Amino acid sequence: MQRLLCLSALGNPEPMYENTRHNAGMIMLRMIKNELCRNLPLKQSTVSPHIEYCHDPKLNLVMLFNRTQYMNLSGHAFIPAWRKLPHDTFHVVLHDELNIPTGKVQFRKPGTSFRGHNGLRDIIKMKGNDDFHKLGIGIDRPNSKDPKVVADYVLSKFTHQEILQLELEAFPRSLEHIRKLLP
């Protein structure tokens, strides 16, 4: 039997963060859900109060959406749910990536750097290892490396043109990576 594939998306809750660069992982997972599992409802997890999920047994796929926990506490949201999945589950975390231009994606294997991403850092801390794959969704980087400028940038909303780049460039590439992992 094919291993279960679990897709988990990093992002911040609350309407004020919708369509921000920091929520690129959640934006992408919504697009993937709409393509692969459009008719499946999201259900509230009984394991983690922060998680809504959908499960498609035909695809052997589960998608986890963090609905109430902030990005920097992503491990607190996902790890309790991950621990209830089969031990050999193939985990992919979708997240925003400053080091990649908007519209591009990068699929990385376990053991690769979390590149200072606090959401990934918290998952590694809570899990005790980094035995999961990462799908970085490019959001580009501001010209300044000043932490305040970077924080303001990642919490700013995508422009209409950047949303189109996600839909027309990043989404097909992300879906291609995910389809390779499906039966």
Residue 68 has pLDDT above 90, yes or no: no
Catalytic residue, candidates 22, 50, 95, 117:
22
> For position 114, what pLDDT does the model report?
85
Q: Which long-range contacts (CB under 8 A, 24 or more apart) does 39-42 make?
A: none
Going from the C-alpha of 39 to that of each of 6, 33, 34, 58, the distances in angstroms are 18, 9, 8, 13
Give the Cα separation of 139 and 153 in Å (integer): 10
Which residues are 108's β-sheet partners? 134
> Is 87 an annotated catalytic residue?
no
Q: Under a CB-based contact definition with an 8 Å cutoff, are residues 64 and 9 in contact? A: yes
Range of the domain at 54: 5-181
pLDDT above 90 as % of the chain: 85
Within 10 Å of residue 112's Cβ, how many Cβ atoms?
Answer: 13
Give the Cα separation of 158 and 136 in Å (integer): 16
Residue 1 has pLDDT above 60, yes or no: no
Would you give the DSSP letter of residue 20? B
Instruction: Give me 95's structure tokens.
Output: 């997240």
Number of H helices, E strands in the chain: 6, 7
Which residues are 149's β-sheet partners? none
Split at pLDDT 50, 70, 90, the class of 113 is confident
How many domains does the structure of the chain reveal? 1
> For position 116, what pLDDT does the model report?
78
pLDDT above 70 as % of the chain: 99
| pLDDT tens, position by position, 75-97 | 999 999 999 999 999 999 999 99
| pLDDT tens, position by position, 132-161 | 999 999 999 999 999 999 999 999 999 999
Helix/strand/coil for 15: helix
CATH of the domain at 171: 3.40.50.1470
| pLDDT tens, position by position, 49-67 | 889 999 999 999 999 998 8
